[in-house]
Chain A
Amino acid sequence: AAGVIQSPRHLIKEKRETATLKCYPIPRHDTVYWYQQGPGQDPQFLISFYEKMQSDKGSIPDRFSAQQFSDYHSELNMSSLELGDSALYFCASSFTGTGPLEQYFGPGTRLTVT
């Protein structure tokens, strides 16, 4: 079965640079979620989109922005990168039907800021 695709898988940036992470949800899934996970921490919810509109907002810094496009893929844009932004970034997707909205995660993008 098709899974969530994320690119790139690894990214190295310097402080104050920008980064763009991409997420392609499971086909027919209409909701995308972005998470940040530091070492030894649980996933921190950043933001989600349902049908291309922002549905929930978590602890996303103002330096970050995201959007969902007409083909349902999503991009997380990160500017003025800081050392503390080094983390695993996961995208998850779900289908908004009558079910419990279980989220399926992509493999993640490991961002290293030097």
Chain B
Amino acid sequence: QKEVEQNSGPLSVPEGAIASLNCTYSDRGSQSFFWYRQYSGKSPELIMFIYSNGDKEDGRFTAQLNKASQYVSLLIRDSQPSDSATYLCAVKRYSNYQLIWGAGTKLIIKP
């Protein structure tokens, strides 16, 4: 079992709908949580980070963190075809600088 788990997808969502991406992690000592978007052949692009329980909103994106249940999610409202990409969840342990990566969820927004 990987330390950070994501459903590999693909997750298909109609344009304009809400896309919900989920990530679970096993290390309770995890401190910070990151969502990256990666287009094929391009580098990961930081979308949001969260480190407190609850919701954090930035434009069409909302990150949700529940440390008791050890999951973090990303909601994308009003999904656009340009949101089609692989979304990587990354988790930072308290003990070092290293990010532990999930395998990513491929999101497809259908026009």
Contacts and interface: CB of A to CB of B under 8 A. Distances in A.
Contacts of B103: 41-42
Interface string B22-34: 0000000001101
Given A100-B49, A101-B32, A101-B92, A108 B43 contact: yes
A88 B36 CA distance: 17
A56 B104 contact: no
Contacts, number: 58
Nearest to B96: A56
Contact of B42 (A55, A56, A96, A107): A107
Interface residues of B, number: 22
A103 interface: yes
Interface residues of A, number: 25
20 contacts: A33-B97, A41-B103, A42-B104, A43-B44, A43-B101, A45-B99, A48-B97, A48-B98, A50-B97, A55-B97, A58-B98, A100-B31, A100-B34, A100-B49, A101-B92, A102-B32, A102-B34, A102-B49, A105-B44, A110-B41
Interface of B: 31-32, 34, 36, 41-46, 49, 51, 88, 92, 96-99, 101-104
